[in-house]
Structure 1
Amino acid sequence: MKIIRSKEFTAERAWGAVDIANMHGITTRLHWTDQPYKWHINDGEEVFTVLDGRVEMRYRENGVEQSSILEVGDIFYASIGTEHVAHPIGIARILVIECEGSV
């Protein structure tokens, strides 16, 4: 059993994380960041939920770059093969559920 107060979580570096659970190879992690990630494609599907702050999610569909501003409570689902990058607007805390070992 765990209780994690996400609004209190910080990390020593951008995209630092605390591992919450690993359920048969699917990880749930809480990330803290104030810097963009990198363009990437995950090994599987990804669920990305903004818990605190705002994030500009950039993604490519059919080679065309698009973006959307994610607010607290918004969820971004990256299907297999979705190239994307998260750009926090200030400090953000994000819950990420994905296959263990994904980029």
Structure 2
Amino acid sequence: MDIGAGTNNKREAAEKVAIIQRLARIEGQVRGLKQMAEGERRTLDQIQQVNAVVAALREVALLSISQEVKAQLAGMAASPAESGGDVQNLVELLRSTFRLV
């Protein structure tokens, strides 16, 4: 039995929980932003909240990307001869990532 495999699964589960928790916070921020708009809060306050939501979404994207890169690299290490598709997947992932910036 591979001892590292269980550790990886636990780490992946913890990372998934972290992403879900961040998304729940973002959901709350968006609800707050809606209330700000309904309550006619200052535009500056609303823009600051929008910036916070955008930053939080980028963090979620980075966490997701990190998980995927780790998984792809582990797959490549396990079977280097068959990693051509994995490399293409990483290239596509990075291409999409650069659209976030």
Fold shared, TM-score > 0.5 on shorter chain: no
Which of structures 1 and 2 has the larger relative contact order (alpha carbons within 8 angstroms, sep 6+)?
1
Q: If the length of structure 1 is used for normalisation, what is the TM-score?
A: 0.21
Which of structures 1 and 2 has the bigger CA Rg? 2
Q: If the length of structure 2 is used for normalisation, what is the TM-score?
A: 0.21
Q: Which has the higher helix share?
A: 2
